Amino acid sequence: MSEKVYDVPSQWAQKAYVDDAHYQSMYAASVKDPDAFWGEHGKRIDWFTPYTKVKNTSYDPGHVSIKWFEDGVTNVAYNCVDRHLEERGDQVAIIWEGDSPDESRKITYRELSSAVNTFANVLRNRGVEKGDRVTIYLPMIPEAAFAMLACARLGAVHSIVFGGFSPDSLAGRIADCGSKCVITADEGLRGGRKVPLKANVDAAAAQIEDGVDHVIVVRRTGGKVDMTPGRDVYYDEAAAMVTDECPAEPVNAEDPLFILYTSGSTGKPKGVLHTTGGYLVYASMTHQYIFDYHPGDVYWCTADVGWVTGHSYIVYGPLANGATTLMFEGIPNYPSVSRFWDVIDKHQVSIFYTAPTAIRSLMQAGEEPVKKTSRASLRLLGSVGEPINPEAWEWYYRVVGDERCPIVDTWWQTETGGILITPLPGATKLKPGSATRPFFGVMPEVVDAEGKVLTGACEGNLVIADSWPGQMRTVYGDHERFEQTYFSTYPGKYFTGDGCRRDEDGFYWITGRVDDVINVSGHRMGTAEVESALVAHPKVSEAAVVGFPHDIKGQGIYAYVTLMDGVEPTEELRKELVAWVRREIGPIASPDLIQFAPGLPKTRSGKIMRRILRKIAEDQFESLGDTSTLADPGVVDDLINNRQNKR
Ligand code: PRX
């Protein structure tokens, strides 16, 4: 734990939207009377029909139901585009920085409007209507934002699949939500390397029983791809056939906006469903206050739109606020490890939001690649995705921000839609490694294993006692799983899956997942998913996967694998298994370490004791706990003796 505290600089307290006194009073009002608070702040977006009801939510076991602004009618694309045209039609909405430093584009709100309307007409021509699901499998190009907003304009529901997922993973996600239309690109481009997106879509579609009806292909690299006549169309060719006027469909506040698949501790990924009104109010309000966004700022979030951070804080929050948002196609170390800082100087970025894993990997290159850039435009830094270790925080603060820029360490989840625990830069003193305090309307509690609410300084599991507008509404197609996953561990409360500590100041320190979810470079991975990929290999009889501490990635993937009788544990097979998992799930799930284990530690009833496997992967041989209840305690020694070394 770091003892350091950074007070709010006085010019921040004066200029930011809220100072500490303001935070205290607004927070108190928000939890005392959520109806009044959100009733007022819900007006920050435009409504075609204003709501008369604000909060209608229940966490009661068996009856979990979450509705906000339920009788309001609006449209997300209207709010992110049309309503800005009069005042800032010629302001840049999206700055796009390509993979190569020689490529960039600026898109004004007026141009964005034309692009979104055109895209919506292309979809509409292919039969996409309100409520239909559309899968988006695109690289970080402006068309990704156009496609999202085009869906929103029609009232269609997008499901974005990150470009790093395999055809198998893509197929599962297309089939689960029944998308008939997929939007992709010929190829993606990252760090100079091509990603065969269209070929992956073809492979995925081939696995789906009824296939898909339409594949819209954006030309990114111009690479040659197979086009299936009648199903596939190049976006530019389809766009040339339509106008750039398409009315924004009136959408109910509780109509779905998007589905985003995320990993849990069991089973296949869940389709997290977010709806329209509450989500947009929450994304836009958090974006404004947490990043202290003012007109004229250039705001850059380095996430990919394939993750929730890209949804809420590249596209929806910033654009709802009429902001200038930067979209980056590339990676932090291409063509050099100065890339982030070069882009900040090139586009005069003032607010920069990235992940601890990126900071840690850039830290390794030393200060020089940062120091040779100016970064004078920066005024605020942000962090998201995993706990930031105090060393990385200090480096980010001192080297990147020149001790001038506050850091907002924002804790949230795919499920929460927006940031829940975070400093506000004009209000909250900073403690490196702490996400600090709840945002308005958020009621965190720390509970022990039995669900007893702990008070004062304490450590336990993090739950949220009541709903906020950005909360997910259900698991697509499986409301029971939604209740089971989030509301059954501590009945009546939303269980986050995270552990946390609260200190004497009431500040929250997230300690990481307490379930079988691991966080690899800020990407969420279910150990069960990696296990089922491994056991699908014909030579594998059993597998158990745990996380282990990794200097750059935060956590790495450690797999214990038991082979079929008679199969030789070779180095070659190890490589084959890594390649197999990459193919099954995607490169982001590649195991870092594979240990061949003739036996796994099991209880007499056959349950794998993961606690022991976790400790071995963490090198904590001394604290394995009681192993006497194992069916065969002898396996533990073998596991320790053959522990794989960290790379
Ligand atoms: O464990 C927490 C960690 O990331 C998880 C959520 O992952 P995902 O749904 O992929 O969303 C990531 C981006 C919002 C959380 O349960 N996490 C996220 N932000 C932080 C964090 N852990 C500590 N500090 C954070 N700032």
CB 438 within 8 A of CB 420: yes
In tens, the pLDDT along 74-94 reads 999 999 999 999 999 999 999
Quote the tokens at residue 616: 């071995």
Q: Quick one: pLDDT at residue 526? A: 94
Ligand 1 and 497: CB distance under 6 A: yes
Q: Quick one: pLDDT at residue 267? A: 79
Q: Quick one: pLDDT at residue 237? A: 98
In tens, the pLDDT along 385-403 reads 999 999 999 999 999 999 9
Ligand 1 and 306: CB distance under 6 A: no
Confidence of residue 627 (pLDDT cuts 50, 70, 90): confident
Q: Is pLDDT at 537 greater than 90 in this prediction?
A: yes
Q: Quick one: pLDDT at residue 605? A: 87
Ligand 1 and 30: CB distance under 6 A: no
| CA angle in degrees (0–180, nearest 5) for 180-137-535 | 90
Q: Quick one: pLDDT at residue 499? A: 97
Instruction: Using the mean position of ligand 1's atoms as its centre, give its distance from the Cα of residue 386 in Å.
Output: 5
For the residues 340-359, what does the mean pLDDT come to? 98
Q: Quick one: pLDDT at residue 200? A: 98
In tens, the pLDDT along 591-625 reads 999 999 999 999 888 889 999 999 999 999 888 88
Q: Quick one: pLDDT at residue 633? A: 87
User: By 3-state DSSP, what share of the chain in percent is helix, strand and coil, each rounded to 5?
Assistant: 35, 25, 40
Instruction: Using the mean position of ligand 1's atoms as its centre, give its distance from the Cα of residue 499 in Å.
Output: 11
Atom of ligand 1 nearest to the CA of 387: 23
User: pTM (2 decimals)?
Assistant: 0.97
Atom of ligand 1 nearest to the CA of 510: 23
In tens, the pLDDT along 280-292 reads 999 999 999 999 9
Q: Whose CA is nearest to atom 3 of ligand 1?
A: 386
CB 169 within 8 A of CB 218: no
State the ipTM, two decimals: 0.99
In tens, the pLDDT along 251-266 reads 999 999 999 999 988 8
Confidence of residue 138 (pLDDT cuts 50, 70, 90): very high
Q: Quick one: pLDDT at residue 498? A: 97
Q: Is pLDDT at 525 greater than 60 in this prediction?
A: yes
Q: Quick one: pLDDT at residue 541? A: 96
Ligand 1 and 385: CB distance under 6 A: yes
Ligand 1 and 484: CB distance under 6 A: no
Q: Quick one: pLDDT at residue 367? A: 98
Instruction: Using the mean position of ligand 1's atoms as its centre, give its distance from the Cα of residue 496 in Å.
Output: 10
Ligand 1 and 353: CB distance under 6 A: no
Mutate to test the pocket of ligand 1, among 386, 407, 437 (most ligand atoms within 8 A of CB): 386
Ligand 1 and 413: CB distance under 6 A: yes
Q: Quick one: pLDDT at residue 123? A: 98
Tell me the CA distances in angstroms from 531 to 204, 491, 559, 560, 635, one per residue in order: 21, 29, 8, 9, 20
Q: Is pLDDT at 146 greater than 90 in this prediction?
A: yes
Atom of ligand 1 nearest to the CA of 388: 24
In tens, the pLDDT along 119-129 reads 999 999 999 99
Q: Is pLDDT at 646 greater than 80 in this prediction?
A: no
Q: Is pLDDT at 154 greater than 90 in this prediction?
A: yes
Q: Quick one: pLDDT at residue 374? A: 98
Residue-averaged pLDDT of the chain: 96
Q: Whose CA is nearest to atom 8 of ligand 1?
A: 413
**Orientation angle between helical segments 34-41 and 20-32, nearest 10 degrees:** 120
Q: Is pLDDT at 231 greater than 90 in this prediction?
A: yes
348: left (phi over 0), alpha (psi -120 to 50) or beta: left
Instruction: Using the mean position of ligand 1's atoms as its centre, give its distance from the Cα of residue 531 in Å.
Output: 22
For the residues 19-42, what does the mean pLDDT come to? 98
Q: Whose CA is nearest to atom 13 of ligand 1?
A: 385
Q: Which helix (H) or strand (E) holds 341?
A: helix 339-347
Q: Is pLDDT at 219 greater than 50 in this prediction?
A: yes
Q: Quick one: pLDDT at residue 246? A: 98
Mutate to test the pocket of ligand 1, among 410, 434, 510 (most ligand atoms within 8 A of CB): 510
In tens, the pLDDT along 176-192 reads 999 999 999 999 999 99
DSSP codes of every residue in 205-260: HHHSTT--SEEEEE-SS-------TTTEEEHHHHHTTS-S--PPPPEETTSEEEEE
Confidence of residue 647 (pLDDT cuts 50, 70, 90): very low
